[in-house]
Every structure is written in structure tokens, then in C-alpha cells.
Amino acid sequence: MATEMTPEVASEAAPARRTGASPTADALRRLLRNPVAVLSGLVIVAMIFLALFAPLLAPHPYDAQDRAHTLVNKMPGHPLGTDNLGQDTLSRLIYGARVSLSVGVIVELIEVVIGVALGLLAAYKGGLWDTILMRVTDAMFAFPDLLFAILLVGIIRPTSPAASFLTVFVALALVGWPGMARLVRGQALALREREFVEAARAIGVSGWGIATRHLLPNMLSPIIVALTVDIAGIILAEATLSFLGIGIQPPYPSWGRMISDARPYLRSEPMLLFYPSLALALTVVAFNFFGDALRDALDPRLRE
């Protein structure tokens, strides 16, 4: 015989149904309630929009020069002025977003592929595999990332502006994967003794199948958070290499290179230094804050 729910019981049951939403929906709801996350996300989306549609949004090609108007503050056709070569500052800022985000995303994807594969291999195989791979990561951690990247760039020595992109990708990816590998290994070690892994092993699922179909999906949250935060570090590292003159080479615009080129004109044209510095700072801070907010949103211990 069905029992009729009183209004008090019904009112208590409704929140239970609401809190029974999927973890993804719950994380998204808490992320959207965080004003810092929303603001950071808007900045990231704006930078992505600028990067994708740079040829349509930039008033001039990034390498176009107006020799008749150099070091101009503001004028028609050059809303943010020009640099010492007569290149439009706004156009180079927009194309600089494309350079920085492409380096950040591509390098991070390389790091994720290498780090996830080696981390899963070290955790699931164990034994000699784990010992060798972890000693390699320890050796990589012994070198400061940026100094090691400078060393690699100096060894490779790109011979053309286009080759400088590949050099930066290789250098930053080689110094960045150990952190991802350590993270994945730690998560896999915590998961491989869980009941669902034992059940999969008992029914004959292969080791690689367990790693890819059972371990990897359950560690996506920390990987996504680490990926978001690491992109900020990669963008800053690329800007540092370009600032030192060993990163992305002209005529390709880079915010770090623009900052370096503007230093001699700090007193006469300080805005040349301000604009790329502001763009770099906003992007790095936005990725860092969004990564922190994403970590809080995906943490199951913080769910109501």
C-alpha cells in the first residue's frame, strides 16, 4: 500500500533530488557561482577569440611597417600607436595572443601525452619500470625548468623564424612532462588497488585496458586542473624565452619579444611596454585563477 508523503517530507526530499545531480553538473554549477572563475573564464575566452580570428580583427598584418610613422602614440589607423619599426601595436598584440596560446596549448598537449603514458606505465607495471621512470623524472626535477629550456634552445639553435616555433615546443615540452607523469603515477597508485580495478582484473581485462578504461577516466579531474594551471606557466616561459631573444623570432610577434623591444623606449613611450605586459599578465593570472577555481569545483570533498 502506497504511503502518502506529507508536505514536510516532500520538502525535504526535493533538495535530495537536486543534490543527486551528476558530478559534472554539480561542478559546473559551483564553478559558475564563483565570480573569480567566471571573470577568468571570460578573459580566457576573449584571448581565444582574438587568437582564432586575429586576421579579421587586426587592423594591419603583424609584419606591416609604416616607416613614416614610428613610435607614434595614437593616430587614425593605429589605435594603440606604432613601435620603433612602424609596426601597429594593436595588430601585434592580437597576433601575440595567437602565438602565446598556440604555444601553451600545443606544448601542454605534448606534456599530457608523454606524462600520462609514462605515469600509467610506471604505476601499473611497477618494479623496474617504476624505478627507472621515476629516477628519470627526479633527474629532470634537479634542473630548473627555465634554465634547462634555455640550454635546449641553445643546443638546437633554430636557423629560421619558423624553426623557432618547433624549438620552443620541444624545449618546453621536454622540461614539463615530469610533473604530469608524477601526478598521473600518484593518482594511478591510489586507484589500482580499488575494488573496480580488482574486479576488472578478475574477469581478465588486460593491463592496458585497465589503465585506459578504468584508471584514466577516474583521474581526469586532477589532470584537467593541472593542464589549466600549466598552460599559464608555459605561456610565461615562452614569453621569458622570447624576452631573452632565444624564443619566437621576428617577424612573428610575441608578447615577451614586444616587452624586450620596448625597453629602450620606456621613458619616451612607456605604453609600448605597458600593453604587452598587461596582455601577458591578464592571460597568466586568468589561467591560474581559473585552474584554482576548477580544482575547487571538481573536489568531491567540497560538494554540498
User: Over the stretch 220-259, which tens digit does the pLDDT of each residue have?
Assistant: 888 988 999 999 999 999 999 999 888 888 888 999 999 9
Contacts (Cβ under 8 Å, ≥6 apart) of 128: none
Q: Helix 161-191 to helix 127-141 angle, to the nearest 10 degrees? A: 130
pTM: 0.85
Please write the tens of the pLDDT for every residue from 168-204.
Answer: 888 898 888 888 999 998 888 888 778 887 787 788 7
Tell me how far apart the alpha carbons of residues 129 and 122 are, in angstroms, rounded to a whole number: 6
pLDDT value at residue 243: 92
Q: Where are the alpha helices (DSSP H) in the chain?
A: 7-19, 23-32, 35-52, 54-57, 89-125, 127-141, 145-156, 161-191, 195-202, 207-210, 220-243, 255-262, 271-298
Question: Rounded to an integer, what distance in angstroms lies between the CA atom of residue 79 and that of residue 96?
Answer: 17
Statement: residue 103 has pLDDT above 60:
yes
Which phi and psi (to 5°) does residue 53 adopt?
-110, 30
Q: What distance lies between CA 248 and its chain's CA centroid?
A: 18
Amino acid 93: pLDDT: 94
- Region 88-106: mean pLDDT is 93
The pLDDT confidence band at residue 303, using thresholds 50, 70 and 90, is: low
Over residues 67-84, the pLDDT tens digits come to 887 888 888 888 898 888
Q: Output the nine-digit C-alpha cell for 132.
A: 627507472
Q: How far is CA 256 from the centre of its chain?
A: 17
State which of 18-32, 149-163, 265-279 shows the largest mean pLDDT: 265-279
What are the structural domains, with CATH classification, of the chain?
28-59+80-302 (1.10.3720.10)
C-alpha cell at 261: 623591444
pLDDT of residue 20: 53
DSSP 88: B
192 φ, ψ to 5°? -70, -15
Is the per-residue pLDDT at 143 higher than 70? yes
Dihedral of alpha carbons 270, 274, 276, 277, sign: positive
| pLDDT at 3 > cutoff 50 | no
Name the percent of the chain lying above pLDDT 70.
90
Query: How far is Cα of residue 298 from the mean position of the Cα atoms in its chain?
Result: 17
Residue 285 has pLDDT above 60, yes or no: yes
